[in-house]
A = this chain, B = another copy of it.
Amino acid sequence: MKRFTKKNRNNPRRTTATIRDVALRANVAVGTVSRVVNNRPDVNEELRSRVLRAAADLSYRPNARGRSLARNSSTLLSFILSNRDFLHPFHSHVLQGVQEFCEKAGYFVMYTRFQYSPSIKASELILPLVLQSHGMTDCVVLAGTNYKNFSDALESRDIPYVLLANNFVSQGVRKPVNQVRFDDVTGAGEAARYLIQLGHRQICYIGDISMPWYRARYEAYLREMEKAGLQPMAQTLALSDDRFTNGLKSVQEVLDQKVPMTAIFAGTDDVALGAWEGLRRRGLEVPRDISLIGFDDQQGPLAFPALTTVRVDTGEVGRQLAKMAIARLTSSGQSIPEVLIPTKLMKRETCRPLLNMQRARRKS
């Protein structure tokens, strides 16, 4: 008799049908309904259709909360954008990719930001709200700029995560597991080589090399310059997340110093557009006076002539992150080797061969 004292059991103004209601109506046990709802094969067809009918009649929708409690898992990833002012187009596309893959896999994506200092000890780091209670999310996708203390904190708390590795800042090298990386080193090398092949000798790199992604590209540029016996030059003025202004100011600085230069390799498209603007303000034209290469190719066709740049398939980065996250969950906490996404130099209209190319060749 106790059973009929239950709260909502036979409360007519209850709005949503439960598995029990379906079972009652179909004259089967709740277990059977569960099996049908979860598409398990071991159900008599007669019963199955009776259940399906009843479910449809009651417009039954399984309750995600009950399910996740019973299964002790939801299907929810968290995309955490760390230490960024806002959702930049680059990360928009990554998020998009994550969402896309998740959708197909039946998972969902939460979007959160998280600001933290790299100098706080892992054990003392106050985690983002979404991680403060248990079971809000199954796995975390770390994007934005991250540091070891956060990943350590996650590990010590047994929170599964995957990492967008390019923007991970640490002294040593991170062991290449549970992370996705796009191959900006190869892309940057290709870009530098391309400029050199076009006959450029004075090639300036612009980008804040205190940040690891700019730095990786810079080092690839360095290697190519060295290989070609050329003198590298770099200029950077870091100004928060405003990369356009960074590029603009940096170029002004270079021009003020009267360093001779025929080409610019920028660490990011935004930086390139800013640099371009800086050139324009000094009456310099691209590519007539200065050749220009960017990085990312996320801006769409917002420039003319079309910007030569290194394309990063950010959508694919996101999809792979999601795939890896879901793999982590289903293959019980095992580490998964790094996934490397190739990049591609998009030769467009902002680079020109130098007229004195032959002379330059001879010199080398």
Contact = CB atoms under 8 A, between A and B. Distances in A.
Contacts of A15: 158
Interface stretch (A26-34, A127-135, A343-351): A127-135
A244 interface: yes
B112 A64 contact: no
A273 B302 contact: yes
B133 A61 contact: yes
Contacts of A342: none
A304 B282 CA distance: 12
Q: In the complex, which of the residues A93, A109, A134, A302 has the most CB atoms of chain B within 10 Å of its own CB atom?
A: A134
Contact of A87 (B59, B96, B110, B245): B96
Interface in A109-137: 109-113, 129-130, 132-136
Interface residues of A, number: 54
Contact of A300 (B111, B242, B300): B242
Interface in A205-254: 242, 244-245
A49 interface: no
A1 interface: no
Nearest to A107: B129
Contact of A65 (B72, B99, B277): B72
A112 B134 contact: no
A194 B245 CA distance: 28
A15 B302 CA distance: 51
A173 interface: no
Q: In the complex, which of the residues A16, A62, A302 has the most CB atoms of chain B within 10 Å of its own CB atom?
A: A302
A158 B92 CA distance: 31
A12 interface: no
A149 B64 CA distance: 25
Given A61-B132, A64-B135, A109-B111, 13 more contacts: A15-B158, A62-B133, A63-B133, A65-B68, A65-B74, A66-B69, A76-B110, A87-B96, A99-B113, A108-B112, A109-B112, A110-B110, A277-B304
